[in-house]
Amino acid sequence: MTSPQIEIQLIAAVVAVACAIPGVFLVLRKMALISDAISHSILPGIVLGFFITHDLNSPLLILMAAVTGVITVILVEAIQNTGLVKEDTAIGLVFPALFSIGVIMIAKNANDVHLDVDAVLLGELAFAPFDRLLMGGMDMGPKSLWIMGSILVITIALLLLFYKELKVSTFDVGLSSALGISPVIMHYGLMSISSVTVVGAFDAVGAILVVALMIAPAATAYLLTSDLKKMLILSVVFGVFSAIAGYWMAHLLDASISGSMTTMLGIVFLMVYLFAPRKGLIAVLYRQNQQRTEVSLITFLLHLNNHTEVAERHINHLQEHINWRRVRSKTVVELALKNNMIEIEDEVVSLTQKGKEFTDLALEYILTNKDEKIEPMKDDFFLFRG
């Protein structure tokens, strides 16, 4: 590995971490699309800032663009408050308009601005190592590393300082106001940090991919855990992994680095989406199938318990009255038999002693609205699950 290669990976990793942290809170607060809006609408801010500073890496430019981001949020909320359009329409109206202004400003000043449309969408990570920070003639490393590094340090510092407040205001707005944590300050604080991060990362990965870096790691982590700390750690891990793996994939294919990073994020998400142990698609489908059978089983047992008359308990009655398709009723009866819940005599089904106990207990939980207790009860009674 050459030194620029290492530096690119380092920058990519730092950007990924800096994006992943605010991303977690955006996903949890159901504001993921705000990051999309910000990342688009800061473009005119960046261009304007560039006219003034003539330096894409100037802190002033970052500040100006970040202010544009916060203004976007305020604008969206103002339009929502007029009630003229629905909430999501407000987002959908504001950011394309601002982004268009940015694109047109770039196009009209193509000779002066060192940005082109590709850079807007993709960033220029490959060139990042060549723009170096010189202090008194000393080479201190790539500028963007310093910028993203500073943003990351600030983000982490704020996270550690306000972890408790962020957590409370994210999960329980009512409680947080009661504790004296202003939801408004937390909201705009998070919006400001997100804006700054997006602006800093914009240069490296471009407008749309920064959205991926914010949302995808957090969403992936959310499929694996609901614990905030674990979620933060996991998103950072996913972000860094995709950044570095993405770099090598781009190297291999000779294609865009940020495009590859996003693709890696996509692959990681797809894997977790399919295979996550409890919330993945396969696990969910398996569990839904199991629960459908088990709910049917309990319904069946309750029915037997409710009706003493023979006609209602005849094996053929299942299809007729309970209205199950043949396959399911067979599965249910078999499951009940395997678990010694029922016995069949002359095609008439009755509850066994164990079945009766189970049903009575289930009934009690159902009537007292303690449905959640049925799940552990199943563990006690079932030899075989559905």
Partner 1 sequence: MSEPKIAIQVDDLTVAYNYKPVLWDIDLHVPEGVLMAIVGPNGAGKSTLIKAILGILDPIAGSVAIYGKPYEKQRKLVAYVPQKGSVDWDFPTTALDVVMMGTYGQLGWIKRPGSKEKKASLEALEKVGMLAFKNRQISQLSGGQQQRVFLARALVQDASIYFMDEPFQGVDATTEIAIINILKELRKAGKTVVVVHHDLQTVPEYFDWVTFLNVKKIATGPVKEIFNDDNLTKTYGINYKVAVNK
Partner 2 sequence: MDILEYFQLVTTDYTLRTITLGTAVLGAICGMLGGFAVLRKQSLLGDAISHAALPGIAIAFLITGAKDTNTLLLGALVSGVLGTFWIRGIIKKTHLKTDTALGLILSLFFGFGMLLLTFIQKQPNANQAGLDKYLFGQAATLVESDVSLMVWVTSTALLILLLFWKEFKILLFDAEYTQTLGFNTKFIDGLITFFIVLAIVLGLQTVGVVLMSAMLLAPAAAARQWTNKLSTMILLAAIFGAFSGVFGTAISASQNNLSTGPVIVLVAAVFVLISFVFSPGRGLLFRQIRFQQNRRDLELQKTLQFMYGIAKTHTNIGHPHAIRILNNFQGFTKKSLKELEEKQWITLDGQQWAMTEEGFSKAKNLYNQPSNND
Residues 104-163 that bind partner 2 (CB under 8 A): 104, 107-108, 110, 117, 121-122
> Residue 77 and residue 74: Cα distance in Å, rounded?
5
Cβ neighbours of residue 315 closer than 8 Å, sequence gap 6 or more: 333, 344, 347, 348, 349
Rounded Cα distance, 344 and 346, in Å: 7
56 binds partner 1 (CB under 8 A): no
CB nearer to partner 1: give 58 or 80.
80
Distance CA 212, CA 298 (A): 44
Distance, first Cα to last Cα, the chain: 54
Query: CA distances (Å), 13 to each of 18, 175, 207, 236, 288, in order?
Result: 9, 36, 17, 9, 38
Residue 368 interacts, among partner 1, partner 2, none and using kind-specific CB cut-offs from 5 to 8 Å, with partner 1
| Amino acid identity at 314 | H
3-class DSSP state for residue 382? coil
Mask 274-303, x = binds partner 2 (CB under 8 A)? -----x-x--xx------------------
Which residue, 32 or 67, is less far from partner 2 as judged by CB? 32
Is 75 one of the binding residues for partner 2 (CB under 8 A)? no
Which amino acid, residue 85?
A: V
Residues 304-363 interacting with partner 2 (rule: CB under 8 A): none
Nearest to 168 by CA among 156, 178, 176: 176
- Which amino acid, 365? Y
Joined together, the tokens standing for residue 219 give 């969403």
Residue 271 lies near partner 2 (rule: CB under 8 A): no
Output DSSP code: residue 266.
H
Q: Compute the least distance from the CB of residue 11 to partner 2, in Å.
A: 17
Pick from partner 1, partner 2, none: which does 324 bind, CB < 5 to 8 A by kind? partner 1
Which residue from 2, 81, 82, 323 is in contact with partner 1, where contact means CB under 8 A?
323
**Which does residue 278 touch among partner 2, partner 1, none (CB within 5 to 8 A, set by kind)?**
none
Task: Provide the minimum distance between the beta carbon of 291 and partner 1 in the complex, in angstroms, as a whole number.
Answer: 4
Does residue number 371 form part of the binding site for partner 1 (CB under 8 A)?
yes
User: What does the alpha-carbon distance between residue 235 and residue 363 come to, in Å, rounded to a whole number?
Assistant: 43
Residue for token pair 């799940």: 375
Binding site for partner 1 (CB under 8 A): 83, 288, 291-292, 295-296, 298-300, 302-303, 306, 321-324, 366-369, 371
Binding site for partner 2 (CB under 8 A): 27, 30-33, 35-36, 79, 82, 84-86, 88-89, 91-93, 96-97, 99-101, 103-104, 107-108, 110, 117, 121-122, 208-209, 211-212, 215-216, 218-219, 222-223, 250, 253-256, 258-263, 265-266, 269, 273, 279, 281, 284-285
